Each structure stands twice: as structure tokens, then as C-alpha cells.
Amino acid sequence: MEKVFSKINTLINKIINHTPWYNAYWQGSIKFWKNIPFELDVVNLGSGAAYHAFDYSDTGVKGMNWALSPQSLVHDYNILRNYFSYLREGAVVIITICPFSCLYSQYSKQSNFKYYPILHPATIIDFDDNERTRVYLIRQNPFKSMPLYCIKMTLMDAISFIYHKIIPFRKPNLKASADAMMNGWKSQFGISDISAPLSEKHLAEQKSRRETLNNIVIFCKERNLKPVIVIPPMHKTLTNQYTDAFLANYVEAFLSGVDAPIYNYMKDTDFQSEDVYSSALFLNKHGAKLFTSKVLKLLGLKK
């Protein structure tokens, strides 16, 4: 009887491992659990925008999206330090930057735990051994660790799948998502006027983040990798809210003096159609394939 229950538990875990909610639970980090190919030609780092902007499938280029959502530049650096050996000599490392990348982001314990199975303990911010134990128990046997939650989320996935099969596709409200994102960033970083000069606190954060960015660039060059900085496209409902003063203070000043090529696609005219976005900041699958192809051609990795 015990063997029967064990087999049932194993089967349930296999089902759970292939559900959308379980991938979202780990915020995309499951890709690092699997066999990462060696001799990669290109990888990208980054947070949510990068996670949705790059898709190397069907490009003929050996690439991998190393972005996670959410993720800071410090986490980018730690992922690169842990996995750079999978890159071939001379490979390209795309460092994806967004308008508020220069500021500190506070992440919850839930957001941080995705790193326990994929990073060396010394490179995990606010490492907690008890939390690591909990994380590994969930990874090894999710159904046993949180049965009710697994049942609930799997049922919700099934309902969502049926719902989207029945209900016609609706285009996302990009203006609403742009407003929500901008208001969220203002609240998160304590900014009332995005056109105003950075506060002393934010200037200190920007200096620290620039140092991290420079460290990533130096790390790449020391290992004969080619770092490039990319700002992905955003819909005009969002970019129209960025003033010239904001871009000068938060983006241009941040990237000033960084010794790597910079490619700014923020207002790229090829990506202003609503059809390539799932939100004002995130490209959809179609948009990601178009954008990835464009960047790879620019970098000389694709004809």
C-alpha cells in the first residue's frame, strides 16, 4: 500500500511540475534546474521586461534567457557568476536595463527563495538556512509540502485554461497597465515628481547600482565575453510618461561612463503596435520573437 501511495504522489508531482502556476511560483527559475546547454552563444540578464522580451527558440542561435521576475542588477551579477561557464568564449551577455534599474528594490522572502536551488549560498542575499531547507522540501515534493495549495492552484489553472478556450481573446488595456506601473514605481521608490532631480538617497543608490553594472561589464571582459546593454521596447502609453528630465536623471546619468555598447529600443518604432504587447512594459510571445531576432541581427549573431 505504501508503494501505491508513493507512486500516486510521484505522479501528482509530475503533473504539478508541468503546470503554469508552479513555474510562476518559482518565478521562472525552474529553467536553471534543467540541463543548461554548454557553449551558449548569447544570454540575457534582467528582470520582468527582459523575461518577456527575449525568446531564442527558432532563431538558429544557441541562446538562453537568464532573466527572472522580479530581479535586481545584483541578482543578475550573481546569476552570471554562477553560470558563466556555460558560455562559449566570445559569447554575448545582454545586460537588460529598465528606467528604474538604478534604484534599490526591496524583495520579499517569497521573491528571494527562488534563488536557493540555483545559486551558491554565498551569493544569495539575506541567506537563511531554515528557508533553504523549506525551499528544498517544496522542490523535492511539492504535493507533500503544501497539498491544499497544490490542489487549489492546479484547479485554478484548469479553470483558467477552460475559460480562455471559451471566452474570446481580449486585447490588454495598455494605457491602464502603463498608469498602474508608473503609479506603482512612484509608490515603491517614494517619488512624487519623476522630473525632479534624484534625492541624496537615490543618488547614493544610483552610484551603488552603477558600480554593480560596471562589475558585470568587467567580469565579462575578464572572461572574454562581450557585454552589451539593452533597453527593451515599451509601448508609447508608458514611454510618453517619461519626461526628458527623467530620462536624463534616471537613465542617461546612470549609464554614463559604463564601458559597454548601449542599445536603446525604448521608443523603437517597430514595436509600437498593441499586437506585440501583453502590457505596456512586457512584450508578448510574438513581440519577443520579433525583438530577439532584431537584437541578434544587430549583434551579428543572426543573418
Query: Tens digit of pLDDT for each residue in 209-229?
Result: 999 999 999 999 999 999 999
Which pLDDT does position 303 carry in this prediction? 75
Does the pLDDT of residue 166 top 90, yes or no? Answer: no
Which pLDDT does position 35 carry in this prediction? 83
Cα dihedral angle (143, 112, 129, 118), rounded to 10 degrees?
A: 80
Does the pLDDT of residue 1 top 70, yes or no? Answer: no
Which pLDDT does position 156 carry in this prediction? 95
Does the pLDDT of residue 109 top 90, yes or no? Answer: no
51 — pLDDT class (breaks 50, 70, 90): very high
| Cα separation values, 89 from 40, 41, 92, Å | 9, 9, 9
Considering only 29-43, 87-101, 105-119, which range has the smallest mean pLDDT? 105-119
Q: How far apart are CA 55 and CA 194, in angstroms?
A: 32
Q: How far apart are CA 239 and CA 34, in angstroms?
A: 36
Q: How far apart are CA 182 and CA 195, in angstroms?
A: 13
Please give the mean pLDDT across all residues of the chain: 93
Single out the residue of 136, 96, 146, 143 nearest to residue 116, CA to CA: 136
Does the pLDDT of residue 170 top 80, yes or no? Answer: no
Q: What is the mean pLDDT of residues 153-170?
A: 84
Q: What is the mean pLDDT of residues 72-99?
A: 97
276 — pLDDT class (breaks 50, 70, 90): very high
Q: What is the mean pLDDT of residues 158-178?
A: 85
Which pLDDT does position 69 carry in this prediction? 87
Which pLDDT does position 61 carry in this prediction? 97
